[in-house]
Amino acid sequence: MSLAIKPAPVKKTLVVAASPQTAFEVFTTGFDRWWPRSHSIGDSPLKTAVLEGRQGGRWYGLLENGAEAEWGDVLAWDPPNRLLLAWRIDAGWKYDPALLTEVEVLFTPEGSGTRVNFEHRLLGNMGAEGEGARAMFDSEGGWGTLLQMFAAEAAKAS
């Protein structure tokens, strides 16, 4: 019996009161100024979130202890209209260079602002490896971390 599911992409649409140029710059160059600190993955708190602005650039976190936590890389760099990132964090919260999930962000002018179409897709790849699935349940940083994150968010929301 197979219980595997194919998770749908996470899609978000928002309109921001800023030009596509500004929105693109803030999303990329200004990455560290908005990336949520509470959701850092790693052994140490996040110090600086970095997104290198070029195709093939890296996307990573500088941790307080000096280590770097890799998240992925820039697959397409097309300012100010489109950004395509590879998110290579697996279901066990580990960086896996062989894993591909895609984060695409489209910036389209709308009135005096910008429509931002966001999509995080190919999420099924996170479970492509049987080993990865087991790691998620076995590792302290996997399933337990995920449930703790839900607990923390729920506490904040209530």
Partner 1 sequence: MAYGNAAFAALSDPTRRQVMERLAAGPRAVGDIAVGLPVSRPAVSQHLKVLKEAGLVSDRQEGARRIYAIDPKGLGAMRAWLDQFWDVALTAFAAEAERVAANDEKEDAP
CA atoms in the 13 A half-sphere facing the CB of 142: 17
Which three-class secondary structure state does DSSP give residue 10?
A: strand
- Pairwise CA distance, residues 83 & 104, whole Å: 6
- Pairwise CA distance, residues 28 & 26, whole Å: 5
- Pairwise CA distance, residues 78 & 53, whole Å: 10
151 binds partner 1 (CB under 8 A): yes
5 binds partner 1 (CB under 8 A): yes
17 binds partner 1 (CB under 8 A): yes
85 binds partner 1 (CB under 8 A): no
7 binds partner 1 (CB under 8 A): yes
Q: How far is the CB of 46 from partner 1 (least distance, A)?
A: 13
98 binds partner 1 (CB under 8 A): no
Q: Are 8 and 120 in contact (CB under 8 A)?
A: no
126 binds partner 1 (CB under 8 A): yes
Sheet architecture: strand order including 68-78: 10-16, 113-121, 101-110, 82-87, 68-78, 58-63, 46-51
Beta carbons within 10 angstroms of residue 23's beta carbon:
24
Interface pattern 21-60 for partner 1 (x via CB under 8 A): -xx-xxx--x--xxxx-xx---------------------
Residues that bind partner 1 (CB under 8 A): 1, 3-5, 7-8, 10, 12, 14, 16-19, 22-23, 25-27, 30, 33-36, 38-39, 91, 114, 116, 118, 120, 123-124, 126-127, 132-133, 136-137, 142-144, 146-147, 149-151, 153-154, 156-158
